Amino acid sequence: MVTEVTHGIKISVETEFQPEYSDPTQSHFVFTYRISIENNSEFTIQLLRRHWYIHDASSKLTEVEGMGVVGQQPTLEPGQIHQYVSGCNLKSGIGKMYGTYQMQRIIDEKMFDVIIPAFTMIVPYRLN
C-alpha cells in the first residue's frame, strides 16, 4: 500500500492483478485498485474532480480527467473515510498511475488539490 497526505487528506492505494479478466496472449492485463480517502483535516470536504496520469510500459502516457470518482462526488466530515474500487487495463503488464483529486472545503468553498501517490501495477510473474 502507498500513502500520501496533502492538507490533512490521506490517500491510500492498494492494487491487485485480475488474471481472470486478463488475456496475456492479447496484451490485455487488468488491474484493480482500492482507494481510501481519509479526512484528517478540521473541515468538511467534497471531492469534485479527478486527474490521472497512466503510464503503461509499452505505450505512451495517458491522461484521464473527470467529475468525481466512480460516479460519485463524496462529501467527508472530519474523521470520515471514503473507499472505492476502480480498474485499469494495461497492454504490457507493467505500469503506474498517479494524479490529483480536486477538493472543496464546504465552509468557504475553497478549492485545493490532493495528491494521489504513484502506485505500480505489475503482473506477479514479472517479479520473478
Answer yes or no: is 6 within a domain.
yes
Which CATH number goes with the domain that contains 26?
A: 2.60.40.1470
Q: Is the pLDDT of residue 98 over 70?
A: yes
Answer yes or no: is 99 within a domain.
yes
Report the distance separating Cα 95 and Cα 98, nearest Å.
Answer: 11
Tell me how many domains the chain contains: 1
**Please, what is the average pLDDT of the chain?**
96
Q: Are 49 and 67 in contact (CB under 8 A)?
A: yes
Structural domain range at position 12 = 2-122
Answer yes or no: is 43 within a domain.
yes
Output the nine-digit C-alpha cell for 120: 505500480
Mind listing the pLDDT tens digit for each residue in 27-72? 999 999 999 999 999 999 999 999 999 999 988 899 999 999 999 9
Answer yes or no: is 92 within a domain.
yes
Beta strands in 26-110 (DSSP E): 29-39, 45-56, 62-67, 75-76, 81-90, 94-105
